[in-house]
Amino acid sequence: MKMTYREALREGLQTAIETDPRVYLMGEDVGAYGGTYAVTKGFLEKYGPEKIIDAPLSEVGFTGIGVGAAIGGLRPIVEIMTVNFSLLALDQIVNGASILRHMSGGQLSVPLVIRMTTGGGRQLAAQHSNSFEGWFAHIPGIKILTPSTVEDARSCLHFALLDPDPVLIFEHALLLNSSEEVADRPTRDSLFKAAVRKEGSSLTLITYGGMLPRCLEAAHEFDGTGEKIEVIDLRCLRPLDNEAIFNSVRKTHRVLMVDEGWRSGSLSAEISARIMESCFYELDAPVQRLCRKEVPIPYARHLEIAAIPQKQDIFNRIQEILS
């Protein structure tokens, strides 16, 4: 059957709410409005205000309540409307959820799930187009999932809720309407491991989340040219699946990272460094990176397109590396 990324997220949430009485969803406009991106449309009517809680515009407050509720035995799913507003909740995530297990000498567990929409590409300008998942991956104590396919969107919450530690899920806004043919039941392939989305031998494209479809398109343009591009979808930005990355590098000897975040001090820089540290002698060319331009995302369509890696940019860069 055909399913969209949005429907997949809905299915994941419904399964969680229906199977675990400890689960509740709290966030801005998750109830009466039906979710900013219509992911939870009809949920309030179906599950009631005990399970679907419309929160006031108080990100640090309701995220903190989520931290406490998780310690207290519930399984909260906190929805932050977009990654941009997660900065208002940063203290509870970074000084709270992520450290409490360690700071308590292992006594406290914070099984909190935080979902948020991420990414640019919809002319929403600088305050609604950020891509901070790479930042969050800097922090020990939390796990970062970036579902890029419909199948992954179906299962991300399942794995996040099974985890005894805080898990942040970044859902890319541009993927919501994408659709895929899926089986009746989710495959439940763990998102904590990277996936090879396309096999190849000439070059490894490493990416995640919203950049995956355009990476695959660019990679497929080389089909029939004799160059075979491998595409690795990280799926989980912390912990990183080093082995999947290194295995691919050992096969292709060339790497291009495509990361929607800014380049300086980025996730792509981290991965590049890890490849250098562990696979330096496997490389036939320097590791290359294609990232968001170091500007706040502008409103004008042509400028936004120029700021975020596009299929053609990826294609051109692959060609440069291969030539």
Partner 1 sequence: MTNPDHLRLLHNMLRIRRMEELCAELYTQEKIRGFLHLYIGEEAVVTGVMSLLRPQDNVMATYREHGHALLKGVSAKLIMAEMFGKVEGCSKGRGGSMHLISAANRFFGGSAIVAAGIPQATGLAFAAQRLNEDRQTVCFFGEGATAEGAFHETMNMAALWKIPILFCCENNLYAMGTALSRSQSQQEMAKKAESYNMAALAVDGMNIFDVIEKTQAALEFIKREQKPYFLEFKTYRFRPHSMFDPELYRNKEEVQKWKERCPIDFLRKHLISRDGLSEDVLKKLDKEVEQEMQDAISFAENGTLEPVENLEKNIYENDL
> In the set 1, 2, 106, 281, which binds partner 1 (CB under 8 A)?
106
Q: Is residue 17 packed enough to be buried (19+ CB in 10 Å), middle (13-18) or exposed (0-12)? A: buried
Sorted by sequence, the CB contacts under 8 Å of residue 26 that are 6+ apart come out as 53, 55, 62, 65, 66, 76, 77, 78, 79
Q: What single letter denotes the amino acid at residue 275?
A: I
Q: Which of 206, 240, 213, 243 is nearest to 317 (CA)?
A: 206
> In the set 4, 36, 109, 123, which binds partner 1 (CB under 8 A)?
109
Is 128 annotated as catalytic? Answer: yes
- Give the helix/strand (H/E) hosting 48: none
> Interior CA angle at 79 toward 74 and 80, to 5°?
135
First and final CA of the chain: distance in angstroms? 42
Is 158 annotated as catalytic? Answer: no
Stretch that binds partner 1, among 8-16, 92-100, 120-128, 254-262 (CB under 8 A): 92-100
Stretch that binds partner 1, among 27-35, 101-109, 179-187, 308-316 (CB under 8 A): 101-109
Applying the rule CB under 8 A, the residues between 128 and 157 that interact with partner 1 are 140-141, 143
Q: Is the dihedral of CA 142, 143, 147, 152 positive or negative?
A: negative
Question: CB 61 → partner 1: shortest distance, Å?
Answer: 3
Question: CB 31 → partner 1: shortest distance, Å?
Answer: 13
34 or 61: CB nearest partner 1 = 61
56 or 224: CB nearest partner 1 = 56
8 or 53: CB nearest partner 1 = 53
Site residues, partner 1 (CB under 8 A): 22, 24, 53, 55-56, 58, 60-74, 76, 91-92, 95-96, 101-109, 140-141, 143, 164-165, 239
Give the catalytic positions in this structure.
Answer: 59, 128
